[in-house]
């Protein structure tokens, strides 16, 4: 019942009582006009309409590319995605991202009843395997950055360090959100006692779709001589003058601070937050004559 629609325990009890008296396949089919009133009645009507809209779609693969797209469509239509997006904004939580991860996980299955059954069985098996391994000390611990505070491990591997994933902040994101993610990154890297590794990829499925990605801008906060690189995707060096935290003045936009910088195939692209409130993406090699560097806003970068 999220977002809240005025359909609480009393309304549910009434629906269950009616369903027991009326042989039916589901609780919504037992609803009759006059059983509920006000917001509760509107909520049931909405859920019935939503159910009818999706009835049969799960067995029509022409409607959705995969199960993930069906899940995404349903969470948007039900208002759940928008609800958790607002909750995350207020509480600085990750419920919205969790739903997107669910979409990505379900994308490997067909959008039909067989695909849904297979996906749910896999989730159940994963949970059972996790419970069996609880007492095994020789295991890998999978944990989010938010839950690592106060913990330490000999070896730490931080995955998914791609721009847009971590940091997830977009060009329109608040700079405070970006700095909060930077602090979270610091907490994560300081959990390692002996060995620390990062992974990133050039192409990843996000929210049910494949996307080309760049390495996380946070990686450039680490001194280059402290990193050893392996693999096909390499970190391209970024001129120090364009690192996040650089304060500059632009002939047209005024004073601003570099929020992030992407190597972009050897052509650095900087995202700047100006004092006017405007956010601008610039290519320094073509607009350096309009830019004067003033220094760094702080020693945090």
pLDDT in tens, the chain (301 residues): 678 777 888 888 888 888 887 776 677 777 777 888 888 888 888 888 888 777 766 555 557 888 888 888 888 888 888 888 888 777 767 788 888 888 888 888 888 888 888 888 887 766 655 555 555 667 788 888 888 888 999 999 999 998 888 887 555 455 677 778 888 999 999 999 999 999 988 888 776 778 888 788 788 778 778 888 887 666 666 677 787 788 999 999 999 998 877 766 667 888 898 999 898 999 888 888 899 999 887 544 4
Cis peptide before 3 (omega within 30 of 0): yes
Which pair of structure tokens corresponds to residue 33? 């006009």
Give the Å distances, CA to CA, from 157 to 72, 73, 107, 137.
29, 33, 25, 18
The total of other beta-carbon atoms located within 10 Å of residue 111's CB is 24
CA-closest candidate to residue 202, choices 212, 192, 194, 193: 212
Question: Is 140-235 assigned to CATH 3.40.50.300?
Answer: yes
Residue 95 near residue 82, CB atoms below 8 Å: no
Return d(Cα 291, Cα 301) in angstroms, integer: 20
Residue 72 near residue 208, CB atoms below 8 Å: yes
* pLDDT (0 to 100) of residue 299: 45
The total of other beta-carbon atoms located within 10 Å of residue 220's CB is 23
Q: How far from chain centre, in Å, is Cα 187?
A: 19
Confirm whether 140-235 and 238-300 share one CATH topology: no
- Radius of gyration of the chain measured on its C-alpha atoms: 25
Return d(Cα 217, Cα 166) in angstroms, integer: 9
β-pairing verdict for 203-206 and 209-212: antiparallel
Q: For residue 261, give the 3-state DSSP assignment.
A: strand
DSSP secondary structure letters along 153-183: EEEEEE---BTTTSS---TTS-HHHHHHHHH
pTM above 0.75, yes or no: no
Which pair of structure tokens corresponds to residue 173? 């994101």
Catalogue the long-range contacts made by 225-234 (C-beta closer than 8 Å, 24 or more residues apart): 232/202, 233/200, 233/201, 233/202
* pLDDT (0 to 100) of residue 128: 59
Domain boundaries, the chain: 9-132, 140-235, 238-300
Kindly provide the b/e burial profile for residues 135-163, where b requires at least 16 CB atoms within 10 angstroms of the residue's own CB: eeeeeeeeeebeebeeeebeebebeebbb
* pLDDT (0 to 100) of residue 232: 66
* pLDDT (0 to 100) of residue 274: 92
The alpha carbon dihedral of 280, 285, 287, 292 has a sign of: positive
Question: Is 238-300 assigned to CATH 3.30.1380?
Answer: no
Residue 187 near residue 145, CB atoms below 8 Å: yes
Q: How many Cα atoms within 13 Å fall on the side-chain side of residue 192?
A: 13
């Amino acid at each position: 019942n999220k977002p809240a629609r005025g359909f609480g325990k009393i309304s549910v009890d009434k629906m269950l009582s009616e369903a027991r008296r009326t042989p039916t396949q589901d609780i919504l089919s037992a609803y009759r006009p006059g059983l509920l009133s006000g917001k509760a009645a509107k909520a049931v009507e909405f859920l019935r309409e939503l159910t009818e809209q999706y009835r049969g779609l799960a067995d029509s693969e022409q409607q959705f590319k995969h199960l993930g797209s069906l899940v995404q469509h349903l969470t948007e239509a039900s208002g759940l995605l928008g609800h958790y997006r607002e909750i995350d904004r207020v509480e600085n939580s990750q419920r919205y991202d969790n739903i997107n991860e669910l979409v990505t996980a379900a994308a490997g299955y067909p959008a039909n009843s067989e695909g849904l059954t297979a996906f749910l069985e896999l989730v159940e098996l994963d949970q059972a395997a996790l419970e069996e391994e609880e007492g095994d000390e020789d295991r890998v611990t999978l944990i989010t950055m938010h839950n690592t505070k106060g913990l330490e491990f000999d070896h730490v591997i931080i995955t998914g360090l791609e721009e847009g994933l971590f940091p997830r902040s977009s060009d329109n994101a608040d700079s405070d959100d970006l700095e909060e993610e930077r602090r979270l990154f610091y907490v994560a890297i300081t959990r390692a006692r002996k060995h620390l590794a990062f992974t990133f990829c050039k192409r990843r499925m996000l929210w049910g779709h494949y996307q080309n990605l760049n390495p996380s801008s946070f990686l450039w906060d680490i001194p280059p001589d402290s990193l050893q690189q392996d693999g096909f995707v390499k970190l391209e060096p970024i001129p120090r003058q364009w690192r996040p935290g650089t304060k500059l003045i632009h002939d047209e936009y005024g004073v601003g601070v570099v929020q992030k910088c992407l190597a972009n195939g050897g052509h650095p692209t900087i995202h700047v937050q100006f004092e006017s409130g405007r956010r601008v993406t610039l290519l320094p090699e073509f607009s350096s004559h309009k830019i004067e560097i003033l220094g760094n806003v702080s020693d945090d970068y």
